[in-house]
Amino acid sequence: MPKHANVERWEKYSDDGELDGEQCPRCSSLLAQHDGRKSCGKCGYSKIQK
Ligand SMILES: [Zn+2]
């Protein structure tokens, strides 16, 4: 059931919001946590945190 697999994927996304990993909005891989910022090793996306 391919549809079910899709649903599982989205559930995982929302549940992961509180965990250590944050997903890249561009390529959906996990952002690496650095001091004061997060960055994606795949596409180069980076996000500065307060
Ligand atoms: Zn990325």
| Per-residue pLDDT at 40 | 94
Which DSSP category does 28 fall into? -
CA of 37 to the centre of ligand 1 (A): 14
| Per-residue pLDDT at 35 | 87
Higher-confidence residue: 50 or 43?
Answer: 43
CA of 40 to the centre of ligand 1 (A): 5
Q: Which residues of 1-50 form beta strands (DSSP E)?
A: 22-23, 30-34, 37-39, 46-48
CA of 2 to the centre of ligand 1 (A): 25
The string of pLDDT tens digits covering residues 4-39 is 656 555 545 445 444 557 889 999 999 998 888 999
| Per-residue pLDDT at 42 | 94
CA of 11 to the centre of ligand 1 (A): 20
Q: Taking the model in full, what pTM does it have?
A: 0.53
Which DSSP category does 19 fall into? S
| Per-residue pLDDT at 45 | 95
